[in-house]
Structures are given as structure tokens and as C-alpha cells.
Amino acid sequence: MDSSQEWPSHSRPLAREALRQARKAGWLFRPNEGHTFGTLKCSNTDGACRLAIYSTSGPADGSMTAKSIKQVLRRCSHQRHDEIDAHTPEPQSTVTEIEWKVRRLLNAIEGLDQRTRGETAALAAVERDDEPALEESELALRDGDNQALVAFQLMGKPMTPWPPEIGRGELLDEADRLLSQESDQLEPLRRAVSERRT
């Protein structure tokens, strides 16, 4: 299918947006069925630049697929990069991408908060010589660590040393910066970030 025809709609929002950008940049798409959604190919006749697009790989929002598509667009030597850039806005410009990032930030903050509560409870349990309470608090600490580590990994933030040098205040500031875009759709997340500050 060339860029003038309607392409099938990918089930994951960020992958769908990246495919739309590839189409605008003049790329070709051949749909498949099943796990392989289709093949993306640059408009060069020898087809040197290709990418298999999968229906269900990576995170549910399609961010991994979108990243792969944007990389192949930028690396294509058959198109001018300024032309590609004109058709490929940064992913954080979309409300869906902002929502995804802010939710990851909130998950990281909740994990760090749980970690802190677990540490505090563990110290209190040691002072009381309360073995069952110590085990419970250590479990809470590990759960908090796991939640924060997953969020940090998804965001590409440094995970060493752990606990992280990035504090919850910095994460909240980053969320506020992301949420500065005017959109009613982001209002629930603005409230959630505001509640974390209190």
C-alpha cells in the first residue's frame, strides 16, 4: 500500500501514530495477518529500508513498536532527514504519550513512597524486636522497590545506585512539566500529581 491509500489501524495507540508519520513521510506498507501486522518499506525501489511491524510485541501502548518505526525513519539514507523530521513530531507532543509518561512517574513515586514506609516500619520493628512485623515491612519495602524499578526501567531512568538519586520532588516536577500542555484529557492526572504533593 502506498502512502495515498488508507493503511490498516494498529491496535496500539503509539504504534498507530508512528505508522501515520511513516505514511506522511512517503513510506510503503504491506499488511499481513496474525502476529506480524505488516512490513514497512521506504519508497526507494530497491527496498533497502524495511521493518517488520508486529501486532502484539512490547508494552500495551505500542511504545516499543513506535520507537522502532521512528528509528528506521531517521536512519533511512534514501530520504532527507529534514523531510522526515518535518513529518515526525516528537512523541511527547501527543496526549497519549504524555499520559503514559506521567502514569509511569506516578508509579515510580508510589513505589518510592512504599519503599520509605517499609524502611520506617522495618526500623520500628527492629527496635521492638517484632519479627513478624519486620518480615511484613521488608516485604512492603521489596514491593515498593519492584514497582519503582519497573517504572524507572520503562522511563529509561538510571537505576543505579539504588535507592535512586532522583527524588520524588524531581519526579513530580517532571510530571508537572509534561502536564503543562492544554488538554482537558490530562486534568485527572494533574489532580493526581497535585495530591502527591500534599
For the chain, the structural domain boundaries read 13-89, 95-197
Assign 6 a pLDDT band (cuts: 50, 70, 90): confident
Judge whether residue 61 has pLDDT over 60.
Answer: yes
Q: Which long-range contacts (CB under 8 A, 24 or more apart) does 88-93 make?
A: 88/21, 88/25, 89/21, 91/14, 91/17, 91/63, 91/66, 92/178
94 pLDDT above the threshold of 80: no
| 3-state class (DSSP) for residue 107 | helix
Contact 10, 65 (CB under 8 A): yes
Indicate the CATH number for domain 13-89: 3.30.920
Q: Which of 71-80, 112-121, 178-187 has the lowest mean pLDDT?
A: 71-80
The answer to whether the CB of 3 falls within 8 A of the CB of 26 is yes
pTM for this one? 0.52
